[in-house]
Structure 1
Amino acid sequence: MYDGYCIELLKRISYLLDFDYILYDSPDGMYGSMDDDGNWNGAIKELIDKKADIAVGPISVMAERENVVDFTVPYYDLVGLTILMKKPEFDYTLGKFLTVLDEDVWFCIIGAFFLFSILICVFDKLSPFSYQNNTVDWNGEGTEPRVFTLKEGIWFCMMSLTPQGGGETPRALSGRLVAATWWLFGFIIIATYTANLAAFLTVSRLETPIESLDDLSKQFKVKYAPMNGSNALIYFKRMQEIEHRFYGIWKNMSLDDNLGAVERAKLAVWDYPVSDKYTKLWETMLESEFPSNKDEAVERVLTGEFAYIGDATVNKYAKLTNCDLWEVGEEFSRKPYALAVQEGSPLRSQLSTIILQLINQRELEEYKTKWWKKDKRDCPDIEDESNGISIKNIGGVFLVIVIGSALALITLAIECYW
């Protein structure tokens, strides 16, 4: 069962021109490309062999195709090539700010906190110079000096890690040395945490995904290729051939013994390999192997180690119907879609007339709206943290406020009803 934008267009044309048709797939499932010997395959071959009258589908108008078949006026806007990739997965955690330090480090910090809280309490209790061992020295004026019980030791160590400060320090020199040691420890830990947090957030925001063909060509982790026999494959193959040909022309000119020194110096301004971009792309594509069909391409993309280069319309539809995919990069090598007919066929003018009529009546716009929305899924947007941290990653800080407030309320209830 065939359906879609092109099929609805064909049905409408057949109704207006009053003809019947029989639909079948091209034997190899291709739209049509020419090999190095000039032989064609796909739907274009069916037209050349006069086995089909019309080729229907997202067939791009290309110069080499126009040499063997005729095209109607375009029925769709200019369509370029884009890159289809697996949508990156971001790890959203409320406690992301806690992952800056390893779990063992956090346990050591907590252990040190309770150790120093106990030490301050013990030193204040044992030292003969502490206030609690010399209460007779207080004359009762002003605020009574601080007695460092275990509760006061915990409070002192906790507040020493904040800008508020720990308050009054122990009176005894031994207790002050313990407090000073805790201050130095806290200063180093806070400075280390702050520096690592800044580096952690910076690195995570610098890890930008592939956004263009140039980005794709500069990396080696993700393999990439167009579908076998597609117009994208033809594009990259022709571009690398042109680069190779230009290089041969430049090489022959620069090595020409008939050129003078001045003319040879002028040619040297082009430093090869400035323009071997597509040659390198093509070599990588050959190593990556070309998918034989769209289903295979999508399956490889979903592994996360492959990027598919194909028509923007095909990639856009795949993205709209699968939330694990996304389309990256600007369109390039844009060409219109049109119906193909046999060379010299009178159908060309008849079909073109109807297509122009449908364009003027805006029926084709209605087809676009209908079919783009038909299978669209509601996929969640990827949060961009390039301008700031997402609430999903920093929400744990607000949970600290909630937990702290809850503990304060529980403590108040205990104080009132104990």
Structure 2
Amino acid sequence: MDILMGEPEQSLEKEIEADLTIGDLTVHEDRNEVMHFLHPVVYMTNIKGLYKKDDVLETKWTSYITIFRSNVYLSIFGVSVLVSILFVVIARSANRLHRGLDESALVVWLDASWFTLAALAKQGVDYHSQGLSGRFIVVSWWIFAIIMSTAYGANLISQLSVHKEQKPFHNLAELIRSEDYSFGLIEPSITSMIFQNTKSGSVKQAWSVLRERAKTNPEVLDANPANHFKMVDSGKYCYLGSNYYLEAYQGKDCTLKMMDSPVSWQHLAFGMPKGSPLIDEFERTLFILNQIGFVADRRKKWFKTRDPEECRSSASVKPVNFADIQIAFYLLATGTLFSIMSLLSEIVIASTKKR
């Protein structure tokens, strides 16, 4: 039996006859016309893009206000207003009950507002309340303010120390629109064949762009993959090709990144000439090897992928949402409830004594 090592196109161009081809053989409808692909397939891969990431950090001033989500800011503002109003009610009631004073609502409001804001900023404020109801609300607000300010401060430190990675593009459509990055692929290859014959809008557009750019820069359709990898290392270039080739080159170089969304899926398989008497025997053997796990073991050995932990970036800082700090609101609500109950009790007791 004659075995051909390499691409099937080589046997067709050189008119070499063989019973089995061994190489990077991608299942494609054009090849189906002249050969039979054995089942099951050996490996499923996809076409992706490999590029070198820029060392650009996001340093927007908005990072200082994106610590909390908008609903958290609105909730803090809302409870600040409500607590200030409750302070005014409690303070005026306590002064009348315990001191016989009737202070201006505006003066009490200013004092209460200053206290609520200063507490959130963790600034010491002398705010004394007569009666148990005032003490409840003061303690509750201090606990709430400490939790809020601590959460903001901790996340602000993380925001300033953890660098957010900004990807230049996520898919082929964004890559085409990118003004900073160029892209290319090997021609002739199965990848270029897929790009030429595709019905996908973005892939078809990418091929048109490539053909146009190749008129002034033939390197984007260079037949040598080493030249494409060289341009990737130079920066601002994305090499479109088979995922397992790209991952093999990527290795442990954490400056090289893969495009998030695949362009197309590919199946790698053994191929034999159509009508070969060996097809049934080979497929039967391949089926048995697949059942006993031999194919899966070979797949792990032949197509090694990078451990995602090797280049895991620092944990990204997510904005604090309401669920993360809801305990602070629950504590404040509980303290407010006790304060109102205490205030009502004080009013009842005071009215009873007057009688």
TM-score normalized with structure 2 length: 0.52
Residues 72, 338 of structure 1: 8 Å contact kept: yes
Q: Paired residue for 2:197?
A: 238
Unaligned runs of 5+ in 2: 64-120, 125-155, 215-219, 320-355
Q: Residues 381 and 70 from structure 1, CA distance in 2 versus in 1: closer, same or farther, beyond 3 angstroms? A: same
In 2: Cα distance, 1:364 partner to 1:382 partner? 33
In 1: Cα distance, 2:277 partner to 2:25 partner? 19
Unaligned runs of 5+ in 1: 1-18, 26-30, 33-40, 101-161, 166-196, 244-274, 389-418
Q: Does residue 215 of structure 1 match 2:178?
A: no
Q: Paired residues, what number?
A: 221
In 2: Cα distance, 1:355 partner to 1:371 partner? 17
Residues 5, 23 of structure 2: 8 Å contact kept: no
Give, in angstroms, the shift of residue 218 of structure 1.
Answer: 1.7
Q: Does residue 78 of structure 1 match 2:44?
A: yes
Question: Match for 2:227 among 283, 292, 296?
Answer: 296
In 2: Cα distance, 1:82 partner to 1:97 partner? 31
Q: Residues 371 and 77 from structure 1, CA distance in 2 versus in 1: closer, same or farther, beyond 3 angstroms? A: closer
Q: Does residue 224 of structure 1 match 2:149?
A: no
Q: Paired residue for 1:42?
A: 10
In 2: Cα distance, 1:88 partner to 1:353 partner? 50
CA displacement 1:251-292 (0-9 Å, x = unmatched): xxxxxxxxxxxxxxxxxxxxxxxx5x4443112222152131
In 1: Cα distance, 2:204 partner to 2:5 partner? 37
The letter of the residue matching 2:172 is L
CA displacement 1:156-196 (0-9 Å, x = unmatched): xxxxxx9979xxxxxxxxxxxxxxxxxxxxxxxxxxxxxxx
CA displacement 1:130-174 (0-9 Å, x = unmatched): xxxxxxxxxxxxxxxxxxxxxxxxxxxxxxxx9979xxxxxxxxx
Q: Residues 309 and 362 from structure 1, CA distance in 2 versus in 1: closer, same or farther, beyond 3 angstroms? A: same
In 2: Cα distance, 1:335 partner to 1:329 partner? 16
CA RMSD of aligned residues (A): 3.8
Q: Once the two structures are aligned, what percentage of the paired residues are identical? A: 18
Q: Paired residue for 1:316?
A: 247
Q: Paired residue for 1:282?
A: 207
Q: Paired residue for 1:106?
A: none
Residues 85, 308 of structure 1: 8 Å contact kept: yes
Q: Does residue 66 of structure 1 match 2:32?
A: yes
Give, in angstroms, the shift of residue 376 of structure 1.
Answer: 7.3
Question: Match for 1:89 among 50, 55, 61?
Answer: 55
Q: Residues 384 and 282 from structure 1, CA distance in 2 versus in 1: closer, same or farther, beyond 3 angstroms? A: farther
In 2: Cα distance, 1:376 partner to 1:44 partner? 39
SS state at 1:302 partner: helix
Residues 46, 262 of structure 2: 8 Å contact kept: yes
Give, in angstroms, the shift of residue 23 of structure 1.
Answer: 5.9
Q: Residues 371 and 63 from structure 1, CA distance in 2 versus in 1: closer, same or farther, beyond 3 angstroms? A: closer
Residues 57, 165 of structure 2: 8 Å contact kept: no
Q: Does residue 363 of structure 1 match 2:331?
A: no
Give, in angstroms, the shift of residue 350 of structure 1.
Answer: 2.3
Judge which range, 329-338 or 211-220, deviates more: 329-338
Q: Paired residue for 1:337?
A: 268
Give, in angstroms, the shift of residue 356 of structure 1.
Answer: 0.9
TM-score normalized with structure 1 length: 0.45
SS state at 2:221 partner: coil
SS state at 1:330 partner: coil
Q: Paired residue for 1:169?
A: none
Within a 5 Å distance, the mapping from 1:7-406 to structure 2 comes to: 24-25=5-6, 31=7, 41-45=9-13, 49-90=15-56, 207-239=166-198, 277-286=202-211, 287-288=213-214, 289-373=220-304, 379-383=310-314, 385=316, 387=318
Give, in angstroms, the shift of residue 97 of structure 1.
Answer: 11
SS state at 2:259 partner: strand
In 2: Cα distance, 1:64 partner to 1:279 partner? 18
The letter of the residue matching 2:205 is K
Give, in angstroms, the shift of residue 321 of structure 1.
Answer: 5.0
In 1: Cα distance, 2:205 partner to 2:315 partner? 32
Residues 213, 329 of structure 1: 8 Å contact kept: no
In 2: Cα distance, 1:382 partner to 1:230 partner? 34
Residues 247, 305 of structure 2: 8 Å contact kept: no
In 1: Cα distance, 2:60 partner to 2:237 partner? 32
Residues 320, 376 of structure 1: 8 Å contact kept: no
Give, in angstroms, the shift of residue 210 of structure 1.
Answer: 1.5
CA displacement 1:334-361 (0-9 Å, x = unmatched): 2321112223222322222221111100
- Structure 1 residue ranges, 4+ long, deviating more than 6 angstroms after superposition: 162-165, 374-378
